Amino acid sequence: MRLRFGSSSWISRVLLNVGMLACGVAWATQSGASANAQEYLNGIEWQPPSVVTPGATNATPPSDAVVLFDGKDFSHWKNASNWKIEDGAMVVGRGAITSTDEFGDCQVHIEWSTPTPPKGSGQGRGNSGVFLMGIYELQVLDSFDNATYHDGQASAIYKQTPPMVNAMRKPGEWNTYDILWTAPRFKEDGSLQSPAYMTVLHNGIVTLNHFELKGDTPYSRPPKYTKHSDKGPLMLQDHGDPVRFRNIWVRPLKPVVGNQVRKPFLRNGDKETPIE
């Protein structure tokens, strides 16, 4: 009985303390709310973000995407007469193909699959490439259990950097690349103003995180930048292997626009205090 009394008393004290703590939290919240009467305003008048309707899945083109290939035809591609379409996928034939549309900063979704059963090894196995602006290669290769130089494996910027991880699916399965591309900028005199950057998700896994490109991506010499126009086509490489591509779409990216209509300030009720 004494034990029960003692126990109940202990519980009462705990409950009391919890109650006080709860009061304390409530008070702190009120206090915080009171402090939040001061609001920071940056003085920028933003243009409203345009509304984009997402696709049924994240692989489905959203409402503002330029669909370059939906499984039906090559109407958005040049030089594709030697490529073919099988089961809704394009199959690499002789010669690289380039998109008729051209892009600067953009988001790219592309799905690809390497031949099964796999043939060859190293760079000779399931090799193709996605070239941003027709110049900068994101490598496509069967890198599932296939050793090669690391800055030449799938999801590498060719001869510049390996991917952070190897996120490859088996030959014959479909891989996805979701690419964020920042185009390089050039000055009037042809020199580089700002480099290109690429972020890549390979099968939903980040393999390149805002990687700064050193220039183009040739096999036989160091990378370099050569002034080109603000936009360029997407190019898919012919490296002699019947790699398949499907579901290709691009979203041109526009910068957020805002006007600094006044200096940043703090507002508390009717009182406005400029931030120096």
What minimum distance in Å lies between the beta carbon of 239 and Mg ion? 5
CB of 98 or CB of 237, closer to Mg ion: 237
Residue nearest to Mg ion (CB): 129
Are the beta carbons of 251 and 62 closer than 8 angstroms? Answer: yes
Residue 184 interacts with Mg ion (CB under 5 A): yes or no: no
- Which stretch in 14-22, 80-88, 120-128, 220-228 sits in contact with Mg ion by CB under 5 A? 120-128
What minimum distance in Å lies between the beta carbon of 152 and Mg ion? 8
What minimum distance in Å lies between the beta carbon of 275 and Mg ion? 51
What minimum distance in Å lies between the beta carbon of 131 and Mg ion? 9
Give the residue among 192, 273, 268 at the shortest CA–CA distance from 38.
268
Judged by DSSP in three states, 266 sits in strand
Give the residue among 213, 212, 209 at the shortest CA–CA distance from 222.
213
Q: Six-digit token pair at 29?
A: 């919240």
Report the amino acid identity of residue 73. D
Cα(first)–Cα(last) distance of the chain, in Å? Answer: 69
- Which stretch in 11-19, 49-57, 72-80, 124-132 sits in contact with Mg ion by CB under 5 A? 124-132
Binding mask 224-243 for Mg ion (x = CB under 5 A): -------------x------
E strand or H helix at 270? none
CB of 114 or CB of 237, closer to Mg ion: 237
E strand or H helix at 91? strand 89-91
Q: Which DSSP letter does residue 271 get?
A: E
Q: Six-digit token pair at 146?
A: 């296939």
Is residue 93 exposed (0-12), middle (13-18) or buried (19+ Cβ within 10 Å)?
middle
What minimum distance in Å lies between the beta carbon of 148 and Mg ion? 11
Beta partners for residue 274, in sequence order: 265
Residue 163 interacts with Mg ion (CB under 5 A): yes or no: no
What minimum distance in Å lies between the beta carbon of 54 and Mg ion? 31
**Site residue total, Mg ion (CB under 5 A):** 3
Are the beta carbons of 66 and 101 closer than 8 angstroms? Answer: yes
Length of the chain: 276
CA distance 134 to 206: 23
Residue 129 interacts with Mg ion (CB under 5 A): yes or no: yes
What minimum distance in Å lies between the beta carbon of 60 and Mg ion? 27
What minimum distance in Å lies between the beta carbon of 128 and Mg ion? 6
CA distance 234 to 62: 19
Cα atoms found within 13 Å of the Cα of residue 15, Cβ hemisphere only: 6
**What are the residues binding Mg ion (CB under 5 A)?**
127, 129, 237
